[in-house]
Amino acid sequence: MSIVLSNVNKIYQSGEVNVHALKEASIEIPNKKIVAILGPSGSGKSTLLNVIGGIDRHDSGSVQVDDHQLDKMKDKDLTEYRRHSLGFIFQQYNLIPTLTVEENVEVGRQLSQNPLDMKEILEKVGMWDKKDKFPHQLSGGEQQRVAIARALIKNPRVLLCDEPTGALDEETGKNILKLLQFVNETYGTTVCIITHNNGIGEMAHKVIRMKSGEITEHFYNEAPVDPEKVNWV
């Protein structure tokens, strides 16, 4: 799945001040690769992810996903796009507290026409043993694994991860990164990670740096490292 952004602009109105969240952003997300979008808070990386994910609309420019242009899609079409093509992972996991691990993953599975096997996914994320636990009985890292399983079971072509390790310690964070790398290698899923942790860029195939809504740098990483060796910042 190819995602190409051309001259994308997004302005937020905050009181009487206009905040330029994206300024002429043009970038390509390569298919089946890991892409790290790096930048400090307020740099526009979350806006970029939201625009790619079809949960926010840009003001000008174009976002091309295969043959479709997101800015021309209606809300209903964007829902179908998210339903069939994307998986979302959030910093705060956003699991449904009244559902067990397996049931939370089932929430994702039901959306897919071609879902992966429940047991396989839960085993892959190391949560099969805890499939009957509720979110409040799990650690932060475990909850994020469940969130990944929920996104992954849909068998999406793109996995959009918003600060997936933001609430985790180094060891747990690296385990999650390993899992994302494994997903990319095993299922060929494009993984798009936004993070303020510059070290994560070392494991990505492509690195995009942002500042004040602008893409300041983007390059291919010739030798991505194992997540274990990432310099945790």
The yes or no reply on residue 208 touching other proteins (CB under 8 A) is no
**108: number of Cβ within 10 Å:** 23
Site for other proteins in 63-82 (CB under 8 A): 76, 79-82
Q: Of these, 7, 60, 110, 139, which contacts other proteins (CB under 8 A)?
A: 110
Q: Of these, 1, 55, 73, 118, which contacts other proteins (CB under 8 A)?
A: 55
Residue 159 belongs to what H/E stretch? strand 158-162
Q: Which two tokens stand for residue 175?
A: 């385990």
| Nearer residue to other proteins within complex by CB, 117 or 228 | 117
- The answer to whether the beta carbons of residues 150 and 104 sit under 8 Å apart is yes
Residues in contact with 202: Cβ distance below 8 Å, sequence separation at least 6, in sequence order: 221, 224, 225, 229, 230, 231
| Nearer residue to other proteins within complex by CB, 151 or 230 | 151
| Nearer residue to other proteins within complex by CB, 151 or 215 | 151
Residues in contact with 1: Cβ distance below 8 Å, sequence separation at least 6, in sequence order: 31, 65, 66, 85, 157, 158, 190
Q: How far is the CB of 111 from other proteins (least distance, A)?
A: 5
Q: How far is the CB of 218 from other proteins (least distance, A)?
A: 24
| Nearer residue to other proteins within complex by CB, 161 or 203 | 161
Compute the distance between CA of residue 213 and CA of residue 61 in angstroms, rounded to an integer: 14
The yes or no reply on residue 107 touching other proteins (CB under 8 A) is yes
Q: How far is the CB of 96 from other proteins (least distance, A)?
A: 6
Compute the distance between CA of residue 100 and CA of residue 98 in angstroms, rounded to an integer: 7
206-211 β-sheet, strand order: 86-89, 158-162, 190-195, 34-38, 206-211, 214-220
Q: How far is the CB of 86 from other proteins (least distance, A)?
A: 7
What residue ranges bind other proteins (CB under 8 A)? Answer: 50, 53, 55-56, 76, 79-84, 86-88, 90, 92, 94, 96, 98-99, 103, 106-108, 110-111, 150-151, 154
